[in-house]
Chain A
């Protein structure tokens, strides 16, 4: 410091820095919603500061600030204040800040005049909070003020010094002891009188004549005026400003003299050895306290006089709390077990679920659990009384009055579980091959095709969770055309199939040899690749994908879970949809070369499970070049003819077999059968 030891300088008080406990906003919110409502009356609250010489002049409020009686904590001084919570941001902005401060100043002024401060010294300290609570966003605008008169201006002589320059160790121990036995109300401001070696603590009532001036026996030169000092630096804390103003107002005899002041700063155990002593010089021409002219608004973080903002949405908004808490589960996987997992990819991936039945509901719930937030349903059905027990997004209420639309009820169900889910339902019928479209339905069918096409183009992942084989045809073709990830699940009575599809394009050039260990993701077969008949008649007796409702209930839960896990595995693979599938996937995934694995391990092409024997197999199959849904022939035909081609397919059960040449294959297959039989006959 450039200032020399003996220089006198204008006293610099360390202002309070407000510090709000999260529970303060919690209590304020409850109070506003349950008690005050639109009432804007000011309310009395409590705040406190510590004079434990540690962190600086911090002024704290918390949830207990609204209590009638303050909680007493050791080495803290409680201060009475008021909060004025405005209903609108406009009122908060437009209120006359100077007038508000002066109105509190007037009360203080009155207590100086009627001398009531002498018996209740702590009443000198007050604070104001002006606030506006935006309870939709949990944003709180607030501004603290610690009213103090701008006058009188006094000076300090010398730099402040440790208390040891004034008292010896014994005396300090004596002060510590006497201070502890002072009445709570008197601890805030008092005096120490030193006579030779004896030390005496005096309350202000002992020291000051109630009319004016000091008591007759008081010798200023041996009296130290003491205040609880929140400051931890060389300058005295804010409370001294009020103490000096009150003293000078009460004792005109002090004008023109030097006053000894102790800023009481305690150690953790309550010892006063860290206290500071100040010598205050009061000039002869000092100005008196004014009824107006009060200062004390707090500066914000930018150093300006202005309000602060507390954005408490992450800890108070229940919607955000639910969202972050469910995210925590996924982050914990990353933090604890799978450091390379990408937690954001799930949030940004949009899923389209075709079918909002048993499978659709299970898949949606598992997607939510994995952190997916964009989930759209397409379904044309309504919730019926038999649904809620198996279809886990629905409840009895959804069945009433003819039943809600399933797609919408499922989306609502998801948002009920997690309000931040972005979910909607589209009610649309999926046209099917071999289900002729009459003239009367042509327009509606074309409209449905458009809706489905747009939905597929808009999403990243298409789940096929339908209850018939035919209904899967159109979305399989469209998804292959648009290059989307397709996850397909189909159920039998006690068996299931879960698989991912490849994308449009020709099958691999070379037919796989014995040495080939994998198929690249884009060349994987679709649901129809392994079938040599076109979909057309679901009344034929098949075990899989027939009548979804006649399944063992656990099958849908298992298949739905596997469908989501395959998707997540795929998204966590650097090649995503192109992630290869190995031919021989067994439990020893350590044998699978690392480049075949994603962050969560290798990703199978398909999983077939049999609940009857509790067996699972994971076959891998390549694209079939004559596939009726994803082959180049079919996709090209769709590209050329568009909706006309689709309508032709819907109207004729055999059209697809003609287009792909499957009917010729049937003929040659029959030939093979015959040849085989004749071989055996020879044996």
Chain B
């Protein structure tokens, strides 16, 4: 049986490459390295997103964080969003604003609010359980596992993945 998980060093290498590319095309991803606890290293990008619910337009700032999930051995995707006053958006708001393109039935099984393993604060986290199988299919064919990983997620989430990453 082949190993399908990704080691932390593979994650870190890919993350470094990914950030270099991001800097070149101005996509805004940064690598926050934690020298004392290496496993707490993560990728981060802040962006404004215009969201709509029934009656209002909301400008939200969203913080996207990709971190290494040690127990699943895969990259994990998490985010938080807040409005102009700095108040964090709730999970229900996230669902209502169709910030994520998932039907209602599956919504709570894909996105849940959890204490973030790095920040110890509630974040919206995408459940990592299918990531391994999905990534396994690409593992030896991809140039950068982070790009592949984001490619799997961006259809669901309002996050732009410029084509330049593929070049």
Contacts and interface: CB of A to CB of B under 8 A. Distances in A.
Interface stretch (A264-272, A375-383, A487-495): A264-272
Interface string A325-358: 1001001101110010000000000000000000
A19 interface: yes
Contacts of B112: 331-332, 335-336
A269 B115 contact: no
Contacts of B25: 268-269
Nearest to A61: B86
Given A19-B61, A21-B61, A268-B26, A54 B48 contact: yes
Interface string B77-115: 000001011111000000000000000000011001111
Given A58-B48, A270-B26, A314-B88, A21 B82 contact: yes
Interface string A11-55: 000000111111011000000000000000000000000000011
Interface in B32-66: 48, 50, 59, 61
A311 interface: yes
B86 A312 contact: yes
Nearest to A313: B87
B121 interface: yes
Nearest to A54: B48
A126 B42 CA distance: 35
A126 B61 CA distance: 23
Contact of B59 (A25, A55, A309, A315): A55
A405 to B, nearest CB: 36
Interface string A270-312: 1000000000000000000000000000000000000011111
Contact of A268 (B27, B61, B114, B127): B27
Contact of A309 (B27, B82, B85, B108): B85
B122 interface: yes
Contact of A308 (B28, B85, B88): B85
Contacts of A530: none
A325 B115 contact: yes
A18 B84 contact: yes
A20 B86 contact: yes
A71 to B, nearest CB: 12
Given A54-B48, A58-B59, A267-B26, A331 B85 contact: no
Contacts of A18: 84
Contacts of A537: none
A416 interface: no
Given A18-B84, A267-B26, A339 B115 contact: no
Contacts of A321: 121
Contacts, number: 72
Contact of A20 (B48, B85, B108): B85
Interface string A640-675: 000000000000000000000000000000000000
Given A328-B114, A332-B114, A310 B26 contact: no
B85 A310 contact: yes
A310 B86 CA distance: 7
B60 to A, nearest CB: 10
A166 interface: no
B158 to A, nearest CB: 13
Given A58-B48, A334-B108, A339-B108, A22 B27 contact: no
How large, as a class, is the contact surface on chain B? 20 to 34
A324 interface: yes
Contacts of B114: 328, 332
Contact of B86 (A17, A22, A328): A22
Most buried by A among B59, B87, B115, B121: B87
Contact of B108 (A54, A140, A311, A335): A335
Given A54-B48, A315-B121, A24 B109 contact: no
A117 to B, nearest CB: 30
Nearest to A19: B84
A25 B109 contact: no
A312 B121 CA distance: 14
A325 B121 CA distance: 8
Nearest to B49: A55
Contacts of A17: 59, 84
Nearest to A324: B122
Contacts of A56: 59
A309 B86 CA distance: 10
A621 B24 CA distance: 75
Nearest to B56: A301
Nearest to B80: A22
A456 to B, nearest CB: 37
Contacts of A24: 86
Given A269-B25, A325-B122, A21 B59 contact: no
Contacts of B122: 324-325, 328
Contacts of B88: 22, 314-315
Contacts of A334: 108
Interface in A50-107: 54-56, 58, 74
A319 to B, nearest CB: 15
A39 B24 CA distance: 46
Nearest to B120: A325
Contacts of A339: 108
Contact of A55 (B50, B82, B109): B50
B86 A21 contact: yes
A336 B112 CA distance: 8
Most buried by A among B25, B26, B112: B26
Given A55-B50, A268-B25, A22 B109 contact: no
B18 to A, nearest CB: 16
Contacts of B26: 74, 267-270
A520 B82 CA distance: 50
A312 B113 contact: no
A55 B25 CA distance: 18
Interface in A408-439: none
B163 to A, nearest CB: 13
A269 B50 CA distance: 22
Q: Which 6 A-B pairs have the closest CB atoms?
A: A268-B26, A310-B85, A335-B108, A20-B86, A55-B48, A269-B26
Interface of B: 24-28, 48, 50, 59, 61, 82, 84-88, 108-109, 112-115, 121-122, 127
Given A20-B84, A268-B28, A314-B88, 14 more contacts: A19-B61, A19-B84, A20-B85, A20-B86, A22-B82, A55-B50, A56-B59, A269-B26, A310-B87, A311-B87, A312-B86, A321-B121, A332-B112, A336-B109
5 contacts: A19-B59, A268-B27, A310-B86, A311-B85, A336-B109
Interface of A: 17-22, 24-25, 54-56, 58, 74, 140, 267-270, 308-312, 314-315, 321, 324-325, 328, 331-332, 334-336, 339
